[in-house]
Amino acid sequence: MMILKLFLNPLLNRGGTNGMLDPWYESKGLNDVNQVLAYFAISKLGEAPVDGITDTNPEGLTAAYGKWASAVAGRLNAAGLSCKVLDKEAFEKQMLEKLIWISAFMLVGARHPGATVGAVEKDYRSEVSSLIAELASAAAAERQLVFEEGIEERLCAYSRAVAHFPTAVKEFKWRNGWFYSLSEKAIAAGKPDPCPLHTAWLGELKVI
């Protein structure tokens, strides 16, 4: 996921980071920044962007939130890309869904060297389905929210749209690291790990 901030001091800039930025925002006192959840992607320089339009979300998945959301959406629309303006609660849910997507599909793909996002969706569906359910449950409990029904199918539909993308566990702090922090917090409090499969597979790959 790409979260883009508008009009922040360049020295504080984490614009373009593909992952969970809320803890970083909070550490800088940035509690209500403008954000864009970018589902469009460019696989290599010179190629046209692939918009985040799927068979479950034909209106497109890219979303903006905040004071300048409409302006950002207008610019993206003018470039032929979809972008919807969401309120804070709706944006948070969609942001978490994208975090679940990148954390789950990259981790499962890393367990099967050479697997693309499409291969994970097609050949390792049971693994990624179990991980999606686990991460969604943990995220919902942590943020005290309820995801709309059909999260697995929405995330798999996006994977079909970007099926050729490679997989790898990267930017751990901003992606899988958020879920692992929930595991660490629970274990430290003497509670069960909310993401046992996620923790086990991170250990298997020697990420933790």
pLDDT at 170: 94
How many angstroms separate the CA atoms of 170 and 166, rounded?
A: 12
pLDDT at 44 over 90: no
What is the number of other CB atoms lying within 10 angstroms of the CB of residue 152?
Answer: 17
The residues spanned by each domain of the chain are: 2-204
pLDDT at 98 over 60: yes
DSSP state of 12: G
pLDDT at 49 over 80: yes
pLDDT at 121 over 50: yes
pLDDT at 138: 98
DSSP state of 59: T
Average pLDDT over residues 167-180: 96
Q: Pick 138 or 34 by higher pLDDT.
A: 138
How many angstroms separate the CA atoms of 167 and 142, rounded?
A: 27
Q: Pick 137 or 40 by higher pLDDT.
A: 137
pLDDT band at 25 (very low <50, low <70, confident <90, very high): confident
Least confident of 32-41, 98-107, 133-142, 195-204: 32-41
Average pLDDT over residues 51-57: 93
As given in the structure block, the two tokens for residue 72 are 């950002």
How many angstroms separate the CA atoms of 10 and 159, rounded?
A: 33
Three-class DSSP category at 197: helix
Q: What are residue 116's phi and psi, to 5 degrees?
A: -85, 175
Average pLDDT over residues 79-104: 96
Q: Pick 10 or 166 by higher pLDDT.
A: 166
Element (H, E) at 181: helix 176-188
8 Å CB contact between 128 and 108:
yes
pLDDT at 6 over 70: no
pLDDT at 102 over 50: yes
Q: Which residues pair with 41 in a beta bridge?
A: 50
pLDDT at 43 over 90: no
